[in-house]
Every structure is written in structure tokens, then in C-alpha cells.
Amino acid sequence: MPSVITAFRDLDRLREIVAVLWRHGFGEVVQRLGLDTLLVARGAESTDLRSHSIAQRVRFVLQDLGPSFVKLGQIASTRADLLPPEVITELKILQDDVKPITWDAVREEIESDLGGPVGELFLSVDERPLASASIAQVHRGRLRPAAEGEAAREVAIKVQRPGIQETVARDVDLLYWFARALERAVPESRRYSPVDLVAEFDRSIKAELDFLQEADHAERFAKNFEGDARVRFPGVFRSHSGKRVLTLEFLDGRKLNDALAQGLDGRALASTSVHVVIKMIFEDGFFHADPHPGNLLVLGSNEAPVVGLLDLGLVGHLSGATRDRALDLMVAAAREDYSAVADALYALGRPTRKVDMAAFRTDVETLGRKYVGRALGEIEVAAVVRDLIWGAVKHGIDMPPDFMLVGRALMTLEGTARQIAPDLDVFSEAKPYLIRLVAQRYSPDKLTGDLVRTALRMSGMAGQMPEQVSEILEDLRKGHLTLKTADAETPLAFDRLGRRLFASLVVASLVLGGSVVLAVGRHPWVGAALLAAALLGGGAHVVSDWWRALGLRR
């Protein structure tokens, strides 16, 4: 776990972070963290605080601090349950916009990871990059034919930036240290769970940096959609892939804007995209978490488009139980059953306190009447998801992180659909598919399988029950049976009671001793000193007790 030693080891980077925060108007945060001594210069902030909101300045900070922090912002943009809407809106603007690395650096990375000269590994490689992002760069290439008489295979070679793993590891360590320091020094920041956000970023960025894991994702997606002509995923060439270099089938498609300019049937593509994402989430439980237009290619004809999905590093997983509950939520929303929407949200989340279900259902119904049933052009899925999540959190229901990725995927899908088919109603488009999934859930085969699993579990429990009952009765006969209850407040109450009793005895003794000395009349200054000590000791105990109680409430 990162520590202050880590922070000192990367002192220059920490100093850079502090300078960027100060430059964009977060000097108070720097001072409360006690990091203002790291500032080389304390000039005026470069950001115009009057013309830019706090949310905008947060985005400026992340952009200035580079790739790791941009990725952090992109992941944080999915946490509508933690961050205010205006911050989410700004973080969604963050894009990877970085200068390409040189061909010499790319070649060195390929040869280091794959263990051979580029000229022997590939028939040819275009030195000009197809795309350049914060984590990796993509080049087009050709593989030698697998057999004589076959054509060379077109590939896309994805190469990590040199040193990116070390850079990210260093920044993650500093982020952990910074998040913990922020929670200690700025208590009001705890509602946004800085440490949890960094932990989520840590998991996500590690997954994106392992290209072998991305290769696994591509193969799993291809298997899940085997035989489905509506969607394509690039094939993986394992012989030419490693942890830092990934060689994929080159999908010769068109960018979305180019396809629209060439007469693409936008409604057909939007409908296909909806069905693909719904299948990923609610049927497979394994979905592309960032299906934005930059990760989408249009294959096939304008009348029968095929969706090509790229950049498969960031994915979401849903367990069977979570998938069923998310499906219940979508079906309830499509049916405009607001009470069922509230029940599904409650089942999805984790209550942190007693939930007033009547008030919660009323809030959900108010929200439902505002959004549900309108055409896509009239509503924002992002706003619906955000309001539902904030409503649940307000009533003490925390949403699981994987469901946040579902929200991100649906919000991204909305943005794409709005661009190509503004009049498409997502709920109407998805309703037949969702109904079919519900029918499958309650099919005789599915119910029979559930009953068999339940019977097996019950059988195992029944087999263990006689032995467990015998052990309980034997403990009872010998007098060894004890019942234990735990109350988190009881130790604290005993601690306070003990402290107060001890302080009372000490003060009473001092008062009694001082009074006796004064009554005797010999050495009156000793009696006065004892009484003064009683007064000071009693006052010190009251102040310390109040301060300790205040700390516990925080």
C-alpha cells in the first residue's frame, strides 16, 4: 500500500500535481493538505475563476496532469452515484489527445515484447500510426501468408507507449497517498469516496495495460456473437501478441461520420447497436464498457450495416443474479411500472440504512412520469440513469460498481444513437428483446434447472443438519453453549463511562482533600491548590470528552 515514503520518492511528480492544483484555483485544498511548502512559486492562478466553474477546473487539472489522470477522469465519469451531475458532464468531455510516439520507439517495443526483428515478424508495417492514445498506438501491417498461395493477412498492431506501465504505477501510488491525505484533511471530501475511486481506477487501468487480457476479451466476444452477422470483433493473432503488443485482424470499415456522409441508414445501425449492447449486458453478462463512436466501425452496406467494435480492454461483468435484477429494472421501466422500478433498484443495490420504501417509490414514480415513455430525441438516458442512481443513494442504497459500467455503456449508446437516429425510442426498440429474455428466464428448462440446484443445496444442508444439531445438544448438556451478541456502540459507551467515572473520582478526591485542608486552617495554600487542580482537571476532562465525541461523529 502506498505510503509517505512513496510520495517522497516521487517528490518531483507530487510537486507538479501541487502546482497544477494551485494554478487552477485549488490552493485551499493544497493548503489544507499541508503541501503548499512544495510550491516553487506562488503566482496567481492561471484559470479565470469567475468564468470557469469548479467542475471545469477539475477537468483542466486532469488534462494538465497527463494520461493517467485523464483515464482516472474517464472512469470517474461513470460514478453518477458519487459525483455531482455538473462534474460528470465535464469528465465525459475528457478524451485521449496525445502526440504520437516515434516509429523507432514503436519498433523497439515490438521487438522487445515479441522477441524478434520487425522485418521477420511482419511482412510490412506502416510507420504512420492509424491512431494514437494515452496508453497505446496502432499501426497497420501485414502478416506473411499462412500457406503458399494464400494472400497476406491485413492486421492492426497495437503497441503500448514506452514506459507507460511504470508511469501509471507511479501515478497510482501517488493517487492513493493523495486520496487518503484528502480524506483526512478535508472531511467533506469523504462523501465522494476518493480512495474508492482510485481503487476502481487501479483495477481498470491494470486491465487495460495487459494486452493478453484484451485478447481474451476479443475471443470471448467473438464466441458470444458467433453466427450473428450484425456485429464483428477483430480476430487475435496470438503468435504475434504479448503483454505490450497486440496484433489483431484489420477490420476494413468506415468511421461513423464518414459512413453517414456516404448515405448510411442511421436508423438501421442504431437499432443494431441497441440489440448488440442489450445482448451483451442482459444475456451474456459480459459487455463493452466504452462503446463510443471512436471504438465503432461501420462494415457492410449502407442498407444492412454491420457494427465493428474495437478497443476491448475495458469490459464489464455481471453475475447471473445482478443480470436478472438489471433486467427486471429495464422491463419495469419499459412497462412504466414505477413501483417495480423502485423494487428492482432496491434489489440491485446495498442498503446502508433503513430505507423508507414508500418515500422511495414516490420519488421513483415522480422521476418516471418525467422521463419514461418519451422518444429518444426528447429525453437523455444519461439524465435518467443519473437521477435514478442519485435517488437511490439519497435513500441509503449504494449501487454496485458493475452497474455503474452498465450505466456508462447505456449512456454512450445513447450518444451514438442520438447522433445517427434522433427519433429512435430505445425502450420501444429494446422491449421485444427484453420480453424474450424474461420468457427464457421463466421457461420450463430454466425453472427445472433452478429447482434441481435448490434441491441439491437443500439436500446437502439436510445431510449436515443431524450432526450440527447433535453438536449443539452436546454443548448444551455440558454447559458449553454460549450466545454472543455484538453491538458496536457498547464498547464505546463503556469506554466513555469508565473515563467519566475515573475523572469523577479524581475530581471528588481533590475537592474533598482541599476542603479538609482549608477547614483545618493549616497550609491553606495547599487546599487552594487542590481545589484549583480539581477545577482544571474537571474542565480538561469535559473538553477532551467533547472533542473525542466530535471525532467519532465525523
DSSP output for 377-395: GG--HHHHHHHHHHHHHHT
Q: What is the mean pLDDT of residues 129-155?
A: 86
Cβ burial 272-299 (10 Å sphere, 16+ → b, else e) = bbbbbbbbbbbbbbbbbbbbbeebbbbb
Residues 6+ apart with CB under 8 A from 28: none
The residue with greater pLDDT, 418 or 54, is 54
One-letter amino acid at 85 equals P
Residue-wise pLDDT tens digits, 2-23: 445 454 557 778 888 888 888 8
Kindly report the three-state secondary structure assignment for every residue of 115-164.
CCCHHHHCCEEEEEEEEECCCEEEEEEEECCCCCCCCCEEEEEEEECCCH
Do the bridges between strand 305-309 and strand 231-232 make them parallel or antiparallel, or are there none, so unpaired?
parallel
Do the bridges between strand 231-232 and strand 350-351 make them parallel or antiparallel, or are there none, so unpaired?
unpaired
One-letter amino acid at 454 equals T
Residue-wise pLDDT tens digits, 316-375: 888 888 888 887 887 777 677 788 888 888 888 888 888 888 888 888 888 777 765 555
Cα separation, 335 vs 343, in Å, equals 14
Looking at the DSSP bridge assignments, the partners of residue 287 are 316
Report whether 314 contacts 207 (CB < 8 A).
yes
Report whether 145 contacts 153 (CB < 8 A).
yes
Report DSSP state, residue 186.
Answer: -
Residue 196 has phi, psi (to 5 degrees) of: -65, -40
Cα separation, 234 vs 215, in Å, equals 10
Cα separation, 313 vs 207, in Å, equals 7
pLDDT at position 460: 58
Residues 6+ apart with CB under 8 A from 502: none
Residue-wise pLDDT tens digits, 384-439: 777 777 788 788 888 777 777 787 777 777 777 777 777 776 667 777 777 777 77
Most confidently predicted of 219-223, 308-312, 519-523: 219-223
Cα 100–Cα 102–Cα 103 angle in degrees, nearest 5: 120
Residue 414's Cβ-side half-sphere holds a number of Cα atoms within 13 Å equal to 20
C-alpha cell at 194: 476518493
> In angstroms, how far is the first alpha carbon of the chain from the final one?
24
- Which residue carries 452497474 as its cell? 403
Tell whether the model's pLDDT for residue 480 goes beyond 80. no
- Which residue carries 480539581 as its cell? 534
98: left (phi over 0), alpha (psi -120 to 50) or beta: beta
Do the bridges between strand 153-160 and strand 136-143 make them parallel or antiparallel, or are there none, so unpaired?
antiparallel
Most confidently predicted of 25-34, 50-59, 74-83, 155-164: 155-164
Cα separation, 549 vs 543, in Å, equals 10
C-alpha cell at 532: 484549583
Tell whether the model's pLDDT for residue 248 goes beyond 70. yes
C-alpha cell at 225: 456473437
Burial class (CB in 10 A: 0-12, 13-18, 19+), 96: middle
The closest of 541, 271, 538 to 416, measured between CA atoms, is: 271
Cβ burial 422-436 (10 Å sphere, 16+ → b, else e) = eebbbbebbbeebee
Report whether 81 contacts 397 (CB < 8 A).
no
Report DSSP state, residue 443.
Answer: S
Tell whether the model's pLDDT for residue 444 goes beyond 70. no
pLDDT at position 2: 46
- pLDDT-based confidence at residue 109 (cuts at 50, 70, 90): very high
Most confidently predicted of 80-89, 291-300, 459-468: 291-300
pLDDT at position 78: 64
pTM above 0.85, yes or no: no
Tell whether the model's pLDDT for residue 116 goes beyond 70. yes
Q: What is the mean pLDDT of residues 260-275?
A: 84
Cα 197–Cα 100–Cα 239 angle in degrees, nearest 5: 85
Kindly report the three-state secondary structure assignment for every residue of 310-368.
CCCCCEEECCHHHHHHHHHHHHHHHHCCHHHHHHHHHHHCEECCCCCHHHHHHHHHHHH
SS3 28: helix
Tell whether the model's pLDDT for residue 43 goes beyond 60. no
- pLDDT-based confidence at residue 458 (cuts at 50, 70, 90): low
Residues designated catalytic: 290
The residue with greater pLDDT, 211 or 377, is 211
